[in-house]
Structure 1
Amino acid sequence: MTSTETPQDAGDQDAPARWERRGHVGVITLNRPRAMNAVNAALAAAAGDALAAAAADDEVRVVVITGAGRGFCAGADLKEVARGHRIDDRDHPERGFAGLVRQWIGKPTIAAVNGFALGGGTEIVLSCDLAVIDETASLGLPEVTRGLVAGAGGLIRLSRQIPQKVALEAVLTGEPIDAARAYELGLVNRIAAAGTALEVALGVADVIARNAPLSVQHSKRVVHRSRDEGSDWEDPAWALSDEAMAIVFASRDAREGPTAFAEKRAPRWEGR
C-alpha cells in the first residue's frame, strides 16, 4: 500500500475489532489496547464478523490481522474467565477463539505481530497462513503455568509447524519464544524493525494481492488440505492438485496472465 491510498470501510473506531479495506488488502485490528487486546465475547464477535466480511468481499484478496496499541493479543481475558463469563461469540461458537482460529477463509491471512502475543495471541498467529513479527515481540503458550491448556489450536498447530520436540518444550515449559527464535523455527516469515510489523505485513500482502486471486486461493487450499492426504506419491494428494488445476486453468485469469505477459502489460485479474 502506498502512503496516498485511503482506507475504506473503517467502521467504528471504538469497536472491539476494527475492519478496513486498503486497496485489495483487508485489515482487521483487534482493538482493546488497554487490555492488550485480550479476547472477550465482544472482541470475538467483532473479529469473527470482520473475517467473514473479508471473505465475502470480492475486492479483498489478502487479510492482515494486527493489534491496536503496543500489543497484538494477550490471549483470553482471564478477568472475564475468572468471573465465569463467556469469551466466545455465542452466535458463532464454530469460529473458535477470537472468532478467528477455526474460521477458514480461502484468502491468505497474515498476522502482523506488533507486540505481546502469548497464549491465545500465539494461537491466532498459528492460525494465519503467514506472519510478520516485531523484533521486540515474543510468542509462546504459557497456559500450563496457569493450570490451563492451549485449547485454541496451539497444541494442534504448533507441532505441525515446528519439530515435535521443540513444540513439546514450548507447551510443557510455557516459556516464551523471542522473534529471532520464532524466525529460525519457521513460525514467522519476516522480522520487522520495532514499530513496523504492520507496514511490513502490508508490503507482503500487496505482493500477494497483485497475483491472480483464483490461483492464490486454490494454491492455499491445496497446501493446507494435501497434508492430510498421505504420501505425495499417492493419488489422494494429487487429486486435490488436479482439481485445483482444472478450475484455475479453465478461468478467464488463466487466459489473461499469458496474454498480459505477451503484450508486456500488467494483468487485469477478474478472479474468475
Structure 2
Amino acid sequence: MNERADEPSTRGDAVLVEAADGVLLVTINRPQVRNAVNRAVAEGVAAAMDRLDADPRLRAGIITGAGGFFCAGMDLRSFGAGERPTVEGRGFAGVVQRPPATPLIAAVEGPALGGGMEIALACDLVVAARSAVFGLPEVKRGLIAAGGGLLRLPARVPHHRAMEIALLGDRYPAAEMHRFGMVNRLVADGEALVVARDLAARVAANGPLAVAATKRVLTAGWSADATGFGRQADLAARVRASVDAAEGARAFLEKRPPLWTGR
C-alpha cells in the first residue's frame, strides 16, 4: 500500500475508505439505491478488508453506509444485468465469506436487509440506531439467505428467533434485535457511527496480538475439550512470550498506558 494509514482514500465512488488513529472506516457510498451492493461495492469492500488485515497500524475496522442507510442488500438491477457482487475468497460484498481477522464493527443506520443484514452478521460488534431495521427477506422472493445469514444467525440469536427471522422474512426493528442479542449497542438516530468509533478506539487501545488471538479463538468455534484447550494454549503461549505482553505488565506496574509494538 502506498497510502499512509492516516490518510483518506477512495476506491471509485462506491466505497469510501478512511484511516485514522488505528481505525479503518469503510463506507458503502451508494445512498441513491440505499447502498445496495454491486460489483464495485464488493471489490471496494474486499480491498478495504485486505488493507485492514495487512497494515499493522490498523487495529480495528468500521463498516457503515452513507446517507442514513446501512445496506439494502444486493443490487438486483445490476445482478439482472449480469453483475455478480462477490469477490473470490471474500464472498458477497467482499466480506461475508471471509471477514477480516482484525475486529470489525457495523455502524447501522436505516435498513440492513438481506445482504445488508448478512454484512452486519459478519461483523464482530453491531451498533444500531433506534430507527434501523433488520431482516432476511429472501424467502419472500423465493430465495435463501446464502450470504452467511442462515449460517451465522443461529449463533447470534436464540434458535426459535432465528427460525422466525429467516422463515417469515419480515423486518425487525433494532430494539428487537438488541433484545435478541444481535445488536451490542442501541443508540439514538445519527449516533451509530459515533458510538462505533468509540468502541473501535477502545479495541485499538488493547494489545494487538492479544486482540487478534482472542478473536481467532472466539470465531474458530473450538469446543471446550482437550483439543480446544490445546489449540488455545498454543496461541496463548505465543502471545505470552511477546514483547507486548512484557510491555503490558510493565505499564500496569508503572501505572501508565502501554506502548504496543505488535511484537
| Category of TM-score, reference length = shorter chain | over 0.9
In 2: Cα distance, 1:193 partner to 1:22 partner = 24
- 2:253 partner letter: A
Moved over 6 A (4+): none
Residues 1:171 and 2:166 aligned together: yes
Q: Could you tell me whether the CA contact under 8 Å between 2:11 and 2:44 is conserved in 1?
A: no
CA contact (8 A) 2:99 2:123 kept: no
Look up the match of 1:39.
37
Aligned to 1:102: 97
Q: Aligned AA for 1:41?
A: R
Instruction: After TM superposition, give the deviation of residue 137 of structure 1 in Å.
Output: 0.3
Compared CA separation, residues 99 and 13, structure 1 to 2 (3 A): closer
Call closer, same or farther: CA 1:106–1:84 in 2, change over 3 Å: closer
User: What residue number does 2:84 align with?
Assistant: 86
Listed one character per residue, the Cα deviations across residues 46-82 of structure 1 (whole Å, up to 9, x for unaligned) are 1100111111111100011111112101100011222
1:147-197 CA-partner distances (Å, limit 9, x unpaired): 111010001111121112111111110011211111111101001110110
Paired amino acid for 1:237: G
TM-score, normalised on structure 1? 0.92
Task: Name the CA distance, whole Å, in 1 between partners of 2:213 and 2:37.
Answer: 31
Per the alignment, residue 3 of structure 1 pairs with none
Task: For residue 15 of structure 1, report the CA deviation from its aligned partner.
Answer: 2.1
Distance 1:245 1:12, change over 3 A: closer
Q: Judging by fraction of residues, say which structure has more strand.
A: 2
What aligned pairs does 1:102-251 form with structure 2 within 5 A after superposition? 102-225=97-220, 227=221, 229-230=222-223, 232=224, 234-251=225-242
Report the Cα offset of residue 14 of structure 1.
5.4
Partner Cα separation in structure 2 for residue 23 and residue 160 of structure 1: 32
In the aligned structure 1, how far is the partner of 2:81 from the partner of 2:201?
42
Q: Share of identical aligned residues, percent?
A: 43
**Aligned partners of 1:12, 1:207: CA distance in 2, in Å?**
25
Task: Please point out which of 71, 79, 83 is paired with 1:73.
Answer: 71
8 A Cα contact 1:14 1:31, kept in partner: no
- Separation in structure 2 between the aligned mates of residue 249 and residue 12 of structure 1, nearest angstrom: 38
Equivalent residue letter for 1:96: G
Aligned to 1:255: 246
* CA distance in structure 2 between the partners assigned to 1:178 and 1:79 by the alignment: 26
Relative to 1, partners in 2 of residues 1:68 and 1:102: Cα closer, same or farther, differing over 3 Å?
same
Gaps of 5+ in 2: none
Alpha carbons 2:11, 2:17 under 8 Å: kept? no
- Over the residues paired in the alignment, what is the CA RMSD in angstroms? 1.4
Instruction: Tell me the distance in 2 between the aligned counterparts of 1:257 and 1:8.
Output: 25
Work out the number of aligned pairs and report it.
259
Task: Please tell me whether residue 53 in structure 1 is matched to residue 51 in structure 2.
Answer: yes
Note if contact 1:18-1:50 (Cα within 8 Å) is conserved in structure 2. no
**Aligned match for 1:267, one of 243, 250, 258:** 258
One-letter code of the match for 2:151? I
8 Å contact 1:110–1:131 — kept in the other structure? yes
Instruction: Describe the SS at the equivalent of 2:62.
Output: strand
Distance apart, 1:86 and its partner CA: 2.1
